[in-house]
Structures are given as structure tokens and as C-alpha cells.
Amino acid sequence: MTVETFPFTRTDEEWRRLLTDEQYRVMRGHGTEPPGSCALLHEKRRGVFHCAGCDAPLFASHDKFESGTGWPSFNEPEPGAVETSVDRSHFMVRTEAHCARCGSHLGHVFDDGPPPTGLRYCINGVALVFHPSD
């Protein structure tokens, strides 16, 4: 098994101090927050959604859309901000999305999104911090 390294790293102890228990469970433990549980699901202001672990800009607000799933959804990430890998957990094969800078788990990518990309980046709101530009 190869261990991927990222430009921004922290020790496990540092992650536990920085993140809330829920953020740690989702971002470092590859968990999922309950649908509809995050206020960022309803965020409609202009701005950029950043990684809660390293503050890297991940998604622009103009790429956010209402998917009806209960999680913030985006057409595409900022260039180079999100990497993907195969997730074979829970007896299925999915595409995991993680922060390209720190490796934190963000959510999953599905091919049922609207044009122009046809993709739906289904992202855990606890993995995001919103920086408004208004």
C-alpha cells in the first residue's frame, strides 16, 4: 500500500486539536455528516468555500447548486484544488474527493450533476469554511 503525501501536513494530534470531533470524524476518518445538518447547505452569498483543515480555496459559490441531497453540491472545484481516488467502502465503488493540499476527505463525486460538467461534487459542509466576497 502506498501512502500519499500532501504539501500541507499536520500530526494526528494537531488535527484533533484543530478540528471539532465531527470535522475530525469526517475529514480524517472519511465519515459523512447527516444530510441537511450543515448551515453551508443554504449558503447563497458570493464567495469561496475553503478547506476547514488547511484553508485552501476549494469551490467558488457560482459553482454551487441545489441537488436536493442534503449536502452542499458543486459542479466543479477550483483548478487543482481537489483530487479524487477510488472509494470501495460500504460495499460500493465511488469516487472520493479530497483536498489536494492537505488530503482531508471532503465527500464524493457523482456523474449526475447538471451542465456544463455533468458532475456533482457532494461535499460534507463540516469540511468547508465559507469566505464571502460581498
Residues with active-site annotation: 122
* Assigned C-alpha cell, 44: 447563497
Polymer length in residues for the chain: 134
What is the C-alpha to C-alpha distance for residues 106 and 20, in angstroms, rounded to an integer?
15
Residue with grid cell 466576497, as numbered in its chain: 133
Residues 6 or more apart whose CB falls under 8 angstroms from that of 65 comprise: 73, 74, 75, 113, 114
Cα angle 55, 59, 62; round to 5: 140
